[in-house]
Chains A and B, each alone.
Chain A
Amino acid sequence: MDFQKDSYGNELRLKAIEKFDLISNLEQLEEFKSELLGRKGSITDLIKNISTLPSDQKKDAGKNANLIKIFFQDLIQEKFDDYTSTDAEESNPTLDFSLPGRRKSHGSFHPTTVVVREITKVFTEMGFDLAEGPEVELDEYNFQKLNIPIDHPARDMWNTLWVDTTSDVNIQPLLLRTHTSPMQIRLMEKQNPPIRVIVPGKTYRYEATDATHEWQFCQVEGLVVDKGITFAHLKSTLEEFAQNMFGQKRKARFRCDFFPFVEPGAEVSIDCFKCDGDRDGCKVCSFTGWIEIMGAGMVHPEVLKGVGYDPEIYSGFAFGMGAERISMLRNGIDDVRLFYSNDLRFLKQFS
């Protein structure tokens, strides 16, 4: 090309546009790009040639050549994008949706935390407050004020781990609380009725461990005291809990049971959520159709008197349940020892 004649590159531009319109694939585009913008390309030459022009033309020619260069660069890039994007769609039309996604690694909550939070949520929505208490308790609170005197046979229901207090004669007998019930006393001593509270917490028993027994476990205690609280309220409240926790169609069953700090005392079961309380039952309900979930009862008049409440005026009910047991039932865990052995292969299943 004679650059002397076409020192402003106008001819070059027109011819190149004609040629550009004929391009039909990526290969031709690459070739076109090299012819124009490559090391020996015509635009490259055009720019090189500017230095040979008379000085009065140099400025305009330079400006012009640069515009042409930018014009084609953009044009080529645009076409290039077209080709490459269509190519991608054609060669790989859909993603493999089964490949695992990229995620941030999350940790896991301990299964006891999971179930305690669920129980807590159900009760707080029913107007219950939340409290916690000491894990090392006085014999007085764990037993005596709960109507369980020293050398009473009911103490066999709670095999006890005792704290060594031999170092100081001023210390009253201490133990690792065998249930969360001492908090009933502490709460009632601290405040006047009305009370509506649950107390989750660790409890301890001197008990050989096996698949269904663990010496350390978690209980959730509940206490309601006010004027006019009745056994009918106990039944309704605990049935509502069972339904919110295990499904609205659950039925609660109440049978007579004995705990020294309540009278009347009850054991609460629900119809099995696995087999729907089928007559023949299933493995979860030990083939009975019913699953025992907690102990309960009307607060014993002696207990009320002991904290200075007048049983003629106030009445109340209390209940207590084992958290791990509920978790085991729901998640099909068949060995309670898994809870506190902290094997990450177990724990990571509760994220």
Chain B
Amino acid sequence: MKVPVSWLKKYINLDGIDINDLSHLMTMAGTEVSSIDIVGEHWDAEHLLVGEIIDIKPHPDADKLRLPTIKLSDSETRTVVCGAPNLYVSQKIVFAKEGAYLFNPRSNNHEVLKSAKIRGVESSGMVCSSLELGLGEDHSGILELDSSIPIGTPVKNLLSDVIIETELTPNRPDCLSVIGTAHEMAAITKQNVVYPVTSYSPSNKKIEDFIEIDIIDSELCSRYMGTVIENVKIQESPDWLKDALIKTGHRPINNVVDITNFVMLEFGQPLHAFDYKKIPNKKILVRPSKDGEKIDTLDGENRTLKYPMLVIADDSKPIALAGIMGGSNTEIDSNTTDVFLEAANFSASNTRFTRNALNINTEASYRFERYLRPEIAELAFDRAISLIQEITSGVPLSNHIDIYQRTTDDLKVAFKLENLNKLLGTQFELPEILNIFESLGCLIEIKSSGTIFVTPPIWRSDIKIEADLIEEFARIYGYDQLPTAKINSIIPDRDDSTYINFREIIRDTLVYSGFNETISYAVVNGAKLTETTEISSEIFVKVQNPMDSTKNVLRPNLRVNILDTLSNNRRLNQSDPIQIFEIGRVFGEYKKFNSQIMPDENDQLIAVLSGKRNQENLWDKTHESVDFYDAKGVLEDLFEATKIVFQLEECDEGFFAKGKAAKILINNSHVGNIGEISQHSLSHFDLNESVVMIEIFLEEILKKANLLEHQYTRPSKFPSSERDIALLVNNSIQADQITQMISKNSLVVDTFIIDLYEGEELPENTKSMTFKIVFQSYEATLSTNDIDKAQQKILKSLKHQLNIDQRY
């Protein structure tokens, strides 16, 4: 909220207080001052003075221009060219001499004023509008000053101001007002707040003869005050009133409406003025609307209402949205003579419900939904009546209606010194604390039993429990002044962190083997998802109000994410190869967790390799693009890092290229997939290259794998020997089958394939595979003879069981 210091000074003495220092203290105490704006920062006392128009002559050459003569002192007058329509003799105005620094609406910049010839007439200086002075937006005419101001007064002394802007937390509606802000400043600077004097002369007429008011649901309206003010004269507001509204960012409308807005800003209590004569049958109902009821609101919208939005209604239709906005059917206009003034307290949650449902946010709803105290209504009500009489010469009735459902809640809060010291870790004495409570406007009662009761001031709706009082003390005392202390209690037991450790090892391993980690958004495009998974769209979990309506499905796997990322980077001309991964949450079917029905969330890993291979030293250099075995190498790295044994089994999911993908199994449980993605699937992502992928259900692995500490094997004292054997193998046989068979020999400590060859000179349907076999014994150095024997045994069983011949 914007709060002009000139306005604050009506209620609190700020002499000798530095606004910057005070603003800092307010920020530290929770009422954040987000900016301090100086009005008239560039004005100087010599060039901007109050003048009086003593003569106006027409311009010889232009109908719309006139030549006013301005008296600045007994000895100094100036005649200038002026285009403003609202000039008259004896008017007090702001005169800018040549050299003044002003806003120029034509160039949209601040400039030094120079003399100029306008349509042949020399003009040195000018009469200023609000816009030129930087006081407001108005440039339709010149700014008119109060006639009592003496000529020659520097404008700087008269109109300059400081406007502080506060950014308030939702618990402090009291500070959405000038007086509330003054109270906050008073607590910090240990001063008093002086309220404006309200007094008016009523007629002897009775409200009962004018209107009848009925509250249908007192839960939604705890207080309703109303009266009629007769014979008002609707006009433009006086300058001081307009000035106050403009400085706080409001547009003046007419005197009655401006007064209701002014008082709202002054006390924080929204008010509404109806044209009394437009209320038929002189009956007002405060009631929930019926479904389908309609109202034209003051912003020109036709709104359809539903139960239980609270409305102010006449005997047949709504005339205002309670606490939000008036209806056009009872709007104050230039012909209004009698005003019905309302000051009420409407339910915070109902106000919020209504403005959310109708999507309107007004100054009134903003305040009501933050819980206002009903006590403020009467202060604002009296103030508004008094101003309406003063400014519009209207006459109030002798009495008013006040339907007040006083809350039975005890507002007193019991307070114990020891609880404060216990929560803050301090040793304060009572007087210091009570002083601060009093500076905040609290009433203190000390019972004979020693119990202390603190009653919060009527402008605060947020102090309800002892902890609130402790915060009040702490914030005014200053959080920074409070002591610090190390936690000295024992460190609690830790939970099992096996899973998180495991996941982080996986992350490390991928990064160290050349992968770039990505993190993408949790929602994906449903159509793309359907193209990449066999998960039924019926179990997709969807977002009701997504940021992007084409992406509303919470991802059940990470495939769309990683392929989108790959595709986006290809578009940016990233050079080969790309190796990326993501570890993230995926969202499965709804499940019951205890009694809560929620989507089944799990972590998954996805990694893709694409483009040309950049690694050397692979046994197979025949393919340039990455293939299945690049992915498998990564998988082996991952599982070696976490000591997990896995198997692969063919996977026929259509997302993958046929025959080039496998399910990853651990103890026969499906924990992921590995394989080459089909060109068809890739085409949905504008990818035209080979892409291999690893997908792992991370949490599943932990459930299935035996993550016992690895047991060590004692190394043999004796040297090992190696032999290479070339085999002619039927194409249907997989390398695993051969290594398993070789490993069965008790002298074999390791074996792996070192060459794979497929060529035309080989018999049909066969391939040549060469294995290195490492022999070693724990008992002795193996002789050539021992090794020959073992090798023969191996070859024999290969022939016998897999029909494999040695190739020479």
Contacts and interface: CB of A to CB of B under 8 A. Distances in A.
Interface in B530-556: 541-547, 552, 554
B518 interface: yes
A172 B510 contact: no
A279 interface: no
A231 B474 contact: yes
A339 B582 CA distance: 13
A224 B485 CA distance: 14
Interface stretch (B4-12, B59-67, B216-224, B572-580): B572-580
B480 interface: yes
A347 B517 contact: yes
A176 B546 CA distance: 11
Interface string A20-63: 00000000000000000000000000000000000000000000
Contacts of B398: none
Given A151-B353, A204-B522, A301-B465, 9 more contacts: A113-B507, A136-B587, A136-B598, A163-B541, A163-B544, A231-B474, A235-B482, A256-B475, A257-B169
A216 B548 CA distance: 13
A132 B424 contact: no
A137 B597 CA distance: 10
B170 A236 contact: no
Given A171-B590, A172-B597, A228 B517 contact: no
B551 to A, nearest CB: 11
B543 A256 contact: no
Contacts of B425: 230-233
Interface string B478-518: 01101111110111101101001000100100111111111
B518 A110 contact: yes
A235 B732 CA distance: 69
Interface residues of A, number: 87
Contact of B172 (A157, A202, A258, A345): A258
Contact of A168 (B487, B522, B590, B596): B590
B27 A255 contact: yes
Contacts of A196: 487, 491-492
Interface string A325-351: 000000000000001111111011001
B233 interface: no
B623 to A, nearest CB: 19
Interface of A: 104-110, 112-113, 117, 127, 129-132, 134-138, 149-154, 156-157, 161-164, 168, 170-172, 174, 176, 194-196, 202, 204, 206, 209, 215-216, 224, 226-233, 235-237, 239-240, 253-258, 260, 263-266, 298, 300-302, 315, 339-345, 347-348, 351
B29 interface: yes
B367 to A, nearest CB: 10
A164 B542 contact: yes
Contacts of B156: none
B489 A162 contact: no
Nearest to A105: B514
Most buried by A among B585, B598, B614: B598
B346 to A, nearest CB: 13
A113 B503 CA distance: 12
A256 B518 contact: no
A110 B585 contact: no
A171 B475 CA distance: 42
6 contacts: A135-B601, A161-B545, A231-B425, A232-B426, A235-B484, A240-B486
Contact of B480 (A253, A257, A342): A253
Contacts of A264: 467, 470-471, 474-475, 479
B28 interface: yes
Interface in B275-333: none
B671 to A, nearest CB: 20
B559 interface: no
Interface in B597-648: 597-599, 601, 614
A344 B516 contact: yes
Nearest to A347: B516
Contacts of A228: 422, 489
Given A138-B596, A300-B467, A232 B519 contact: no
A336 to B, nearest CB: 13
Contacts of B492: 127, 129, 194-196, 226
Contacts of A263: 465, 467-468, 470-471
B30 interface: yes
Contact of B599 (A136, A215, A342): A136
A340 B519 contact: yes
A344 B582 CA distance: 13
Contact of A164 (B470, B512, B544): B544
A46 B516 CA distance: 68
A109 B520 contact: no
A71 B379 CA distance: 120
A224 B487 contact: yes
A148 to B, nearest CB: 10
User: Which 8 residue pairs across A and B have the least CB separation, nearest first?
Assistant: A230-B425, A232-B425, A256-B30, A258-B169, A264-B471, A256-B475, A127-B491, A151-B349
Given A226-B489, A232-B485, A344-B569, A107 B424 contact: no
A215 B504 CA distance: 26
Given A196-B492, A215-B547, A347-B517, A233 B474 contact: no
Given A230-B424, A266-B479, A301-B465, A345 B514 contact: no
Contacts of B579: 107
Contact of B521 (A149, A156, A216, A256): A216
A236 B484 contact: yes
B484 A239 contact: yes
A104 B601 CA distance: 36
Given A130-B500, A162-B543, A231 B423 contact: yes
Given A106-B511, A107-B511, A107-B514, A342 B569 contact: yes
Interface in B436-470: 465-468, 470
B569 A343 contact: yes
A202 to B, nearest CB: 7
Nearest to B554: A136
A130 B497 contact: yes
A212 to B, nearest CB: 15
A258 B349 contact: no
Nearest to A124: B494
A332 B546 CA distance: 30
A183 B301 CA distance: 43
A306 to B, nearest CB: 14
A171 B487 CA distance: 41
Contact of A107 (B513, B543, B569): B513
Contacts of A162: 543-545
B484 A172 contact: no
A106 B467 contact: no
Which of A112, A151, A227, A253 has the largest count of B CB atoms less than 10 A from its CB? A151
Contacts of A266: 479
B362 interface: no
A151 B479 CA distance: 31
A255 B598 contact: no
A191 B519 CA distance: 32
B51 to A, nearest CB: 40
A232 B495 CA distance: 27
A105 B599 CA distance: 39
Nearest to A239: B484
A112 B470 contact: no
A154 B426 contact: no
B373 interface: no
A260 B370 CA distance: 13
B568 interface: yes
A235 B485 CA distance: 8
Given A129-B494, A136-B541, A265-B471, A232 B482 contact: yes
Contacts of A209: 547
B369 interface: yes
Nearest to B173: A153
B657 interface: no
Contact of B485 (A168, A233, A339): A233
Interface string B672-702: 0000000000000000000000000000000
